[in-house]
Structures are given as C-alpha cells and as structure tokens.
Chains A and B, each alone.
Chain A
Amino acid sequence: MKHTLSVLVEDRPGVLARVASLLARRGFNIHSLAVGPTAEPGMSRMTIVVDAPELEQVKKQLHKLVNVVRITELDPATALEREIMLVRVAAPAGKRGEVLEIASIFKATAVDVGPSSMCFQISGTPAKINDFLDLVRPYGIVDLVKSGRIAMAREQKTKPGRLRAVN
C-alpha cells in the first residue's frame, strides 16, 4: 500500500541521508522522494511516497530523527499530488502527427524534436501522467525521467479531518 507523507525537516547537511537511511534500515520501501525549500527559512519539505502495510511505525521512527519537525500524512483521494515527466517517444516523421495529437489532449509540450524522436514535458497528477504514458508506449519509449511526487493538502473547507498531523 502506497502512502504519501509530507515531512517538514530542518535544512541541515545530511538530513536527506538520515531520512533515507532510516527508511531503509526499518525496511520501508521508498517509492519516490522529492525535496526542496519551503516558504519558511531554514526548513525543507520532503514528499515521500512509501510502500508500507501501515504507516504508524514509519511516522514514529521518522519522528525520532532530531531534524524532522512535522509529518503530515496526505490522503491521496483529496490531496493535491503532482509529478513532472520528460519522455522521449520514438516518432519518425510519419508518426509525428499522431503523437502530437495525443500530446495536445494531455497538454504535454514538445520540448525537443529530432529526426527519429520527440521529447515531451508533461506535468499533472500521477494518474494523468500514467495515462499519457500508456498511450504513447506503443510508439516506443526511448527515454524517460520522472520527478518524485510532490503533494500538498487542499484547504480544509469541505472535508475537515482529512489532514492528520502527527505529534
């Protein structure tokens, strides 16, 4: 079962290694991890997608790290989750039209065009990105890179209680 955690950490050297090493040591599989600065100076936010049967231990173990400040578990049904992908699709001159048509439905932008392939940039929910991939796969995928997932809770007006902070 995949869970998305939004983890606020102090921006200290080695903090990424601490988080990654702890998850590895406790046997939790990291599906993706994205890290970057936040609006608060000195703080970074990690969005971690982990594969674990239950999350209580992961959260408690992460909390033991001195540099981990706050952990929020995001409900995939309501949270804003985004990924960005660059994908190079095999598209000789004859196929370009078809591929571009699919891309335009998904609002994927062509960022590089070569004699035998085209590279697209697409961002959106993980589901949207996977759908796009499924459609271009038959043409042949030459290369692919995805960012880790980033996520944020929606403003709590309709469904309170969806966002659970762990102390």
Chain B
Amino acid sequence: MSTITGAQALITALEHEGVDVVFGVPGGAILPAYDPLHDSPIRHILARHEQGAGHMAEGYAWATGRVGVAMATSGPGATNLVTPLADALMDSVPIVAITGQVPTSAVGNDAFQEAYTTGITMPATKHNYFVTDVDEIPQVVREAFHIASTGRPGPVLIDLPKNVLTATTTWREPGEISLAGYKPTVDGHPRRVKEAVDLIAEAQRPVLYVGGGIIKANASAELRRFAELVNVPVTTTLMGRGAFPDDHRLSLGMPGMHGTYTAITALQKADLLIAIGVRFDDRVTGKVDTFAPHAKVIHVDVDPAEIGKVRTADVPIVGDARRILTQLIEAWAGRETPDRHPWLDTIAAWKRDYPLRYDQQPDGPIKPQFVIEELYRLTDGDATLVAGVGQHQMWASQFWRFSDPRRWINSGGLGTMGFAIPAAIGAKVGRPDDLVYAIDGDGSFQMTLQELITAASEGIPVKVAVFNNRSYGMVTQWQKLFYGGKLSASVLGDDVDYVKIAEGLGCAGLRAETPDEVAPTLEKSLAIDDRPVVVELVVDPDEMVFPMVPAGASNDEVILGPDDLGALP
C-alpha cells in the first residue's frame, strides 16, 4: 500500500463522500490540504471571507439537500466560520467545516494563529472533532458527513493540526459507522401514529403547521398527499416556505409575527395542530400561553428534544417526517376524506376578507412588495429566492407564491444579515441551471458584498436585488412602533452607488427609481447571464411589514396595516 499524507487522505475521503465543491479561504495551517485539493476533481471556490464560505456551503446544502463543505485556516479563519456554523445549527443545515490548526506540539501555547476552535464551536455545531491521529482521518470524515446529514441535520467541524495533515499514513477504507450515542429514530411509533389518525378524524378545526423539517426530510410530496387525503389546511413557517404550494386551495400562507391573518387566526381557532418539523419558535407562537389555546397537539419531529420543549404534545411522534407522513397515510386507509365544511368555509372567508395588501401609487415611491410581485410575474415564479435579513426578507416570503421546496433559502433562526449573497452563490453552484435571485436589504448587502467578487471571478451568475431604503428598515420599523419614532443608529444615511459597486466588482449594475422602471429593469437583469447582476431598487423607506404581531403579544392581536395601529399596546 502506498504512503499518503493526512492531507491526501482528507481530500480522498471528501471525494469518497461525493463532494464536488469546497468553499474556502486558504492560510498557513490548512495549506497542506490545499496542495492535493488543487489536483483533485473537487472544485474549490475561493470566498473573500470565511463567513462567506460558510454561508455558501449552507446555500449549496439548502438547494441540493447534499452536505455543503467549507474550509478555512486556523485562528481567524476558523473564528470567521462561527457565524455560519451557528446559523446552520439553528436552521438544521447540513455542512461540514474543515479547519487547519497549529501543530499539536504548539497547541495550547498561544502559537501564531492559534484559536481553540473546537472549544469555540462546541455550542455552534452538532458535533466537532479535533483529530490528532492521521490514521483516523478517513473514518472521521465519514462520521462527520453521517452526523451532518442524518437525524436533525446540522453543522459538523473537523479541526486538523498541520502536523496531522503532513504526517504519512496509508489509505484506510472507512468502516461501518457505529456511534454508540448517535442513533436517530426514523420510524414513528405505530401506536402513536394510530392515535394521531384518530385525533385527525375527530377534529373539527385541524391545521397542519409545518416547517423546515418537511424540506430537510424531502417530504413535500407526502405532505401534499396527506393534506389532501385528510383535507386539512396547511400553514408553512418561514423555514418551511415551499414545503406546500401557496396556490393550493388548502394553503394558509405563513404563520407568526408577519404571517397572514388567515394562518395566524386559523392556528388560534384550531382544535388540533398537526405540527410536523416545526419547533414552536417564538416568532410563530407569539405569547406562548395564548398560542392556539383550544388545540390539541400532534407533534412530529426527528429531534426528540423539540417535542414538549415549548408546548406539550398530546401525541408526540419522534421520527423522520417523510416516513411518518407515509405511516399516517397508511394508517388513514379506509377512512373517508372529511369535507370539513364549516371550517374550510371560515378559512376561505378570512382569505377573502384579509388578504396581504400594500398600496403602490403609480407616481409614488417604489413599494418593495410590488418589486417581489413583479419579479414573480416576470419569472413565472420559476426561480430560487435567497433572502437577507430584515423587512425585505419578510416581504419576499409573504409575496412570492412558493410552489417547490428548496427554492426559498433564508436565515430564519439566527437571522444573519449578510446571508443572502454568499448563500445565493452556494445555491447557484449547487443548481447551476436554476435562476437564483437574492433579495437583499442595503444593510444586509453591506455585510457580505465582497462575495460578489467571488461570484464574478468564479463565473457564478447570481442576481442580487438590493432594496435600498437607506436604512435598517426592520430596525426603524420597531423604533417607529415601539420606541416613539427615535431612529437611533438605524438610518444609514449613506450615498452608496450600487451600480458603480457592482461594476467595480465585475458584475453588471442596474437601478430602478420609479415604479414604471421596475419591470424593465428586472427584465434586463434576467437577460444578463454572463455575469452576476446587482439591481438597486430605490424603495419607500417608510413602508412597514404587516400584518404584525408585536413581540411577546398574543396572536389574537394582529395589526393588519398602518391604518390599524390603534391596536398597539
């Protein structure tokens, strides 16, 4: 058997896992790994900041369902990865991060570019490894990919000291994975499944409350079959947008702080929640004590710790969402599909009486919601949207009509501004034939805009709409509503020329300043495919996101629009 270095073992192990792309930034301690990487069929995409590399790996994983890989050097390279790791942990995104480390002989001595990477990332990863034995590399890589992609997916980090990368070994085929403490449950308990089906049959006002778990489990088709079979309306959380088609007659839209009146109210009035792949996040429940007060709860999740964490479940079912939906469909067999008349009629009336709304005047400033609707019209909805964090994220989620999973990518749990550009790059690399459009705020854009250089130089033609309201709009909204209108540190007051920035970084730059310029400008952006495109949309800085349930308020107190602010506490 021929002798190889630890670095070669690492790259071979990545190839064996089917890795086709690594996003990273090199540096001293990880250099040994970059040497064989250069000769490998694996493509390396040079990010301009490790945070960008991490979000690219996330975007890739979101779009493809496969594990995204990020690579960085020790010290600052590794600490720059902390934000995307924490982001991936919150949103259950399967990524593997590989970091260089100072040689084992220097560890603990405050050596140049030493950081205690495994310590720092312990609470920001699903699991991490500090490898001291070169022979273990193939097995560790195999385990890392297994842990990242199974059960509740999440980020795994492998920290590799430089001397371990340069040490020699012989290739050892990784063996069977046997982790005494890690055996995710897949199948739902049959008795629980039966109890669930009985509850669903008895319920008068049931709601399917579904989220990112459906997308992670690739369970959209099963969800749709089940929802139609039991004739139960469906609300998809911010993380679950696209898990169920918005145009379906059973769709309620998004629940929560900026959800539709129909979704919020249906949950409040429901007598049964069929919660699948959701975690009763505070942005959905509002004040927990008053959330869905009349409902019994069936809670399906692959992570047992989510069940009962916030809301006690009457029927807890641990397992894979797709598998359990199939079990539920089988267990329902023989029953008739209920017509659920009064309930579905009530819902239809709410949908009719309380639609999402905004007011675009032909000669007024551009309304951000209008841009989303125009983009939807011009693309026929055939695109992947990737959002930053703020008002624009909410508008994109509200006004796009999602029809497929994995075509809505955003930072839901951590709420990481700067997510959009790098995540869009990762998504486009994962699915090059898809139109990938980032919807970004000017504030979010300014956090990671250097990754446009990555997109331009690597030939990744993403499109980025910058909603320029010259402010941290979501912050100004809260300040206007809850801090007496004092706009402390939230007005950017800058005079950035986004067209010039785009051009300066090797992208095409476009701008729309009036409503009638929106469609032609977006059309132009769609026609450019040889470069990334940045489209600046000068939007109304006074527009606010509605409906809104103020943080900590009950979901019975939905503020429907600017004319409804009397309801504010």
Contacts and interface: CB of A to CB of B under 8 A. Distances in A.
Interface of A: 9-10, 13-14, 17-18, 21-22, 25, 56-57, 60-61, 63-69
A56 B126 CA distance: 20
Contacts of A10: 180-181
Contacts of A68: 181
A162 to B, nearest CB: 23
Contacts of B181: 9-10, 63, 65-69
Interface residues of B, number: 17
Given A14-B130, A18-B122, A57 B309 contact: yes
B18 interface: no
B305 A14 contact: no
Nearest to B128: A14
Contacts of A57: 305, 308-309
A21 B126 CA distance: 13
* Residue from B130, B179, B180, B303 having most chain A Cβ neighbours under 10 A: B180
B118 A14 contact: yes
Contact of A56 (B127, B180, B303, B308): B308
Nearest to A68: B181
Given A9-B181, A17-B122, A18-B122, A66 B305 contact: no
Interface of B: 118-119, 122-123, 126-127, 130, 147, 179-182, 303-305, 308-309
Contacts of A18: 122
Contacts, number: 41
Contacts of A66: 126-127, 147, 179, 181-182
A17 B179 CA distance: 19
Interface hub of B126, B130, B147, B182 (most chain A Cβ within 10 A): B182
21 contacts: A14-B118, A14-B122, A17-B119, A17-B122, A18-B122, A21-B122, A21-B123, A22-B123, A57-B308, A57-B309, A60-B304, A60-B305, A63-B304, A65-B127, A66-B126, A66-B147, A66-B181, A67-B181, A68-B181, A69-B180, A69-B181
A14 B157 CA distance: 14
Nearest to A57: B309
Given A25-B123, A65-B181, 5 more contacts: A13-B130, A22-B123, A60-B304, A66-B126, A69-B181
Nearest to B123: A25
Contacts of B126: 64, 66
Nearest to A40: B180
Contacts of A22: 123
A155 to B, nearest CB: 24
A61 B307 CA distance: 11
A2 B309 CA distance: 20
Contacts of B305: 57, 60-61, 63-64
Contacts of B309: 57, 60
B306 to A, nearest CB: 9
A132 B126 CA distance: 45
A56 B182 CA distance: 18
Nearest to A65: B181
A14 B123 CA distance: 13
